A and B are shown apart, each in its own frame.
Chain A
Amino acid sequence: MIIKKGVPASLGIAIGKAYVLKEESIIIEPVQIPEEKLKQEIKRFRDALENTKQELETIKAKVLNVLGKQHAKLIDAHSLILQDPLITKEVPKMILVERVNAEYALSAILDKTADEFEKIEDDFFHERKHDLFDVGKKILSNLVSREKVSLENIKEPVIVVAHNLYPSDTLHIRESHKVMGFCMDLGSKSSHTAIFAQSIGIPAVVGLSDISRQIQSGEAIIVDGEQGLIILSPTQEIIEKYITKKEEILKQERFFQRFKGLPATTRDGHRISLMVNVDSMDNIEELVSLKSDGIGLLRTEFLYMNRNGVPSEEEQIKAYSVFIKAMPQSPITIRTADIGGDRAVQLGIKSLKDEINPFMGFRGIRLFLKHPELLKTQIRAIFKSNAAENVKIMIPMLSSLEEIQSVKNVMETVKQELAEECLEIKTIPQIGVMVEVPAAALILDSLLNEIDFVSIGTNDLVQYILAVDRINQYVSELYDPYHPAVLRIINLIIQTSHKKGKPVSVCGEMASDPWAIPILIGLGVDALSVPVKMCLRAKHSVRSMSFEKFSIISQNLLGVSTSVEVRKIVEEELKQQ
């Protein structure tokens, strides 16, 4: 038995047989072609191009249907590469001049081009070589007539193991309904495939470095998406342990279903708002069926992903309208995009890959204020979407009063512009700040004069106040939401806001942590915003706790000096519940 640790990308447990998706490494040998057969060889190549073109068109239609427009654009880029003279002209030329087979000519030219891309420092351009190889592989597989190892051929439920999964692979996964889970060598928690796994709710572990070479198709494997573990050739004992664990999770989930539609009220009658975090247009139905109290955090980054350039005003309005239409009666808080400098190049902003510490770098509102056209487009789209008057705007990574004033100036400009365009805006959306930089918490009294509400982004707040980079393996165990410093700053934020009569919500991971929920509510937060999948579970925690009791306990916790003590107190109290 081998246990491997990776990054938990999507919750759940899957136990089953591995299906290893081999990187199609076709070994290409140069073969001399006799002169009289050269024409035939070129025709064979052109036929392969034609077949590939048709394949791409079929995939595009499917992708459009299943995954949406953004993913389809990727396929468009591939169609353009297919028409590139590098492929349409240079390859036939090489076949003729060097009298070699089409496979060899194609791969020689691809390699040569890839070498050019290797030299590029800019990440965005550098990564384009994968597109070239993706297309190249498709043409090659049309040249080499052999059975493709593809996800389309899956006959029985399996766990997919791969080096990397491409958008077209994820499409087959969704369509097949036979993939119980997957794991792969590459990837991080925010990569395309991880988000995809979460959205269709299958367990996944990524970032396993060489898992695809350690296992053969048909061998037993367990994917533990809860802890980010992969277990190869598990013992019977472990399998049974995991079967029990899986049943427990299922049982729990069934149990949580009963909270659908019930209010988020503590057992002593204190009502809070329980909202959800949303970061894509997938699963709108599930979102609606939860009957939550609204969207507490609409992360708009998804609009900016997997594309070049920025989403237009119209595109954004269209996206926001989907949510507004889905939840017309509930508040919807749209956060302006928190894009890091590392991803900015796709928006046409010069790459900042040499940022030494991107978490403290050029991101969130800092980036948007330096490129006000991005902020303006987003604010215009939000204003124009607010017909039902249930939309709010939230600003990420704010650290100074000047920043919120600048944002408000942009809002004022937008308002005037819209008036000039004869689009009188009835109600200006409420504006709030995501408090994640400690500085914002400390000057919150001044910020509150400019804003209507506050939301605490605990993930970043914890990492900034403790100076712990949680993806740095050497210090990640110091990342501790129960650290007294964290509780004290959260208390400060709540007290300051309530003094000015403004509500506070929490939208980080703490908001769905069963131990942190009673502390936060005890400290006085008005709303929690949690991932869709955690909503009912969180409601259970809210409904089980006593507000009165935790108001007292939380105050006591503010005087405690270690996180161990904090945990001990909470644990004991929850045991008695």
Chain B
Amino acid sequence: MFRKEAKILNSFGIHARPAGMIASVASTFESDIKLIKDRMEVNAKSIMGILSLAAGKGTRIIIEARGKDEKEAVSAIAEIFEKKFDLE
């Protein structure tokens, strides 16, 4: 298992577009990936799961992966957070 903490930096929080972004990146990995906020835990491959976190700016999220490519998965998702969900 591999985990890393990330903070939501963009002022919009995890809304539909970032959630879609996380879910589609997460889906490219084999590992099971979870996002954990406080005591809530959701599947990082699920856009609805991610949205249900209702995570606003400043929220701390733990990214946790279990599987063959767990390290790559966690760092790929952490990178999306660091880039403030900016694809361009």
Contacts of A64 in B (CB 8 A): none
Compute how far the CA of A347 lies from the CA of B13 in the bound complex, rounded to whole angstroms: 10
Beta-carbon contacts of B32-64 to A below 8 Å, as 1s and 0s?
Answer: 000000000001011111011010110000000
Compute how far the CA of A117 lies from the CA of B19 in the bound complex, rounded to whole angstroms: 15
Given the interface pairs A85-B43, A348-B10, the reply to whether A77 lies near B48 with Cβ below 8 Å is no
| Pair A350/B48 contact, Cβ less than 8 Å | no
| Pair B57/A348 contact, Cβ less than 8 Å | yes
| Pair A85/B16 contact, Cβ less than 8 Å | no
Q: Which of A85, A117, A122, A132 contacts B56 (CB 8 A)?
A: A122
Compute how far the CA of A113 lies from the CA of B46 in the bound complex, rounded to whole angstroms: 11
Number of interface residues of B (CB under 8 A): 23
Compute how far the CA of A366 lies from the CA of B73 in the bound complex, rounded to whole angstroms: 42
| Pair A80/B47 contact, Cβ less than 8 Å | yes
- The reply to whether the CB of A86 lies closer than 8 angstroms to some CB of chain B is yes
Contacts of B45 in A (CB 8 A): 84-85
- The reply to whether the CB of A308 lies closer than 8 angstroms to some CB of chain B is yes
Query: Whose C-beta in chain A lies nearest to the C-beta of B26?
Result: A85
Contacts of B24 in A (CB 8 A): 80, 83
Q: Which of A77, A120, A132, A348 contacts B11 (CB 8 A)?
A: A348
Compute how far the CA of A83 lies from the CA of B48 in the bound complex, rounded to whole angstroms: 10
| Pair B13/A348 contact, Cβ less than 8 Å | yes
* B50 CB, min distance to chain A CBs, angstroms: 9
Q: Which of B12, B19, B46 contacts A85 (CB 8 A)?
A: B46
Given the interface pairs A77-B20, A122-B56, the reply to whether A348 lies near B48 with Cβ below 8 Å is no
Contacts of B71 in A (CB 8 A): none
- The reply to whether the CB of B17 lies closer than 8 angstroms to some CB of chain A is yes
- The reply to whether the CB of B78 lies closer than 8 angstroms to some CB of chain A is no
* B22 CB, min distance to chain A CBs, angstroms: 11
Q: Which of B17, B48, B49, B54 contacts A308 (CB 8 A)?
A: B17
Interface residues on A, range: 20 to 34
- The reply to whether the CB of A128 lies closer than 8 angstroms to some CB of chain B is yes
Given the interface pairs A128-B16, A308-B15, the reply to whether A116 lies near B43 with Cβ below 8 Å is no
Contacts of B65 in A (CB 8 A): none
| Pair B17/A350 contact, Cβ less than 8 Å | no
Compute how far the CA of A173 lies from the CA of B11 in the bound complex, rounded to whole angstroms: 37
| Pair B52/A308 contact, Cβ less than 8 Å | no
Q: Which of A83, A85, A125 contacts B51 (CB 8 A)?
A: A125
Given the interface pairs A80-B23, A84-B23, A350-B56, the reply to whether A124 lies near B48 with Cβ below 8 Å is no
| Pair A113/B52 contact, Cβ less than 8 Å | yes
| Pair A124/B15 contact, Cβ less than 8 Å | yes
Compute how far the CA of A83 lies from the CA of B13 in the bound complex, rounded to whole angstroms: 22
Compute how far the CA of A81 lies from the CA of B47 in the bound complex, rounded to whole angstroms: 6
Compute how far the CA of A120 lies from the CA of B56 in the bound complex, rounded to whole angstroms: 12
| Pair B15/A348 contact, Cβ less than 8 Å | yes
Compute how far the CA of A124 lies from the CA of B17 in the bound complex, rounded to whole angstroms: 13
- The reply to whether the CB of A309 lies closer than 8 angstroms to some CB of chain B is yes
- 8 Å CB interface, A59-118 against B: 76-77, 80-81, 83-86, 113, 116-117
A-B contact count (CB 8 A): 68
Query: Whose C-beta in chain B lies nearest to the C-beta of A116?
Result: B52
Compute how far the CA of A227 lies from the CA of B19 in the bound complex, rounded to whole angstroms: 43
Given the interface pairs A122-B54, A122-B56, A350-B56, the reply to whether A81 lies near B48 with Cβ below 8 Å is yes
- The reply to whether the CB of A423 lies closer than 8 angstroms to some CB of chain B is no
Beta-carbon contacts of A118-133 to B below 8 Å, as 1s and 0s?
Answer: 0011101110100010
Q: Which of A85, A121, A348, A371 has the most CB of B within 10 A?
A: A85
Compute how far the CA of A437 lies from the CA of B65 in the bound complex, rounded to whole angstroms: 54
| Pair B23/A117 contact, Cβ less than 8 Å | no
- The reply to whether the CB of A349 lies closer than 8 angstroms to some CB of chain B is yes
* A109 CB, min distance to chain B CBs, angstroms: 10
Contacts of A346 in B (CB 8 A): 15
Q: Which of B13, B15, B48, B57 contacts A113 (CB 8 A)?
A: B48
Contacts of A132 in B (CB 8 A): 48
Compute how far the CA of A85 lies from the CA of B46 in the bound complex, rounded to whole angstroms: 6
Given the interface pairs A309-B15, A348-B11, A348-B57, the reply to whether A128 lies near B51 with Cβ below 8 Å is yes
| Pair B17/A125 contact, Cβ less than 8 Å | no
Given the interface pairs A77-B20, A84-B23, the reply to whether A350 lies near B47 with Cβ below 8 Å is no
Compute how far the CA of A347 lies from the CA of B11 in the bound complex, rounded to whole angstroms: 8
| Pair A117/B52 contact, Cβ less than 8 Å | yes
Contacts of A113 in B (CB 8 A): 48, 52
Compute how far the CA of A179 lies from the CA of B55 in the bound complex, rounded to whole angstroms: 41
Contacts of B49 in A (CB 8 A): 84, 86
Q: Which of B20, B23, B43, B54 contacts A120 (CB 8 A)?
A: B54
Query: Whose C-beta in chain A lies nearest to the C-beta of B11?
Result: A348
| Pair A128/B48 contact, Cβ less than 8 Å | yes
Contacts of B15 in A (CB 8 A): 124, 308-309, 346, 348
Compute how far the CA of A116 lies from the CA of B15 in the bound complex, rounded to whole angstroms: 16
Beta-carbon contacts of A423-449 to B below 8 Å, as 1s and 0s?
Answer: 000000000000000000000000000
| Pair A80/B20 contact, Cβ less than 8 Å | yes
Contacts of A80 in B (CB 8 A): 16, 19-20, 23-24, 47
Contacts of B56 in A (CB 8 A): 122, 350-351
Query: Assuming A83-B23, A128-B48, A348-B15, what are 18 further A-B pairs, CB within 8 angstroms?
Result: A80-B16, A80-B20, A80-B24, A81-B47, A83-B24, A83-B27, A84-B48, A85-B27, A85-B43, A86-B43, A116-B52, A120-B54, A121-B54, A124-B15, A132-B48, A308-B12, A308-B15, A348-B13
16 contacts between A and B (CB under 8 A): A80-B20, A80-B24, A80-B47, A83-B23, A83-B24, A84-B47, A85-B43, A86-B46, A117-B52, A120-B54, A121-B54, A122-B56, A128-B16, A128-B48, A349-B11, A371-B11
> Which 5 pairs from chain A and chain B are nearest by CB?
A348-B12, A125-B54, A308-B15, A348-B11, A80-B20
B contacts, CB < 8 Å to A: 10-13, 15-17, 19-20, 23-24, 27, 43, 45-49, 51-52, 54, 56-57
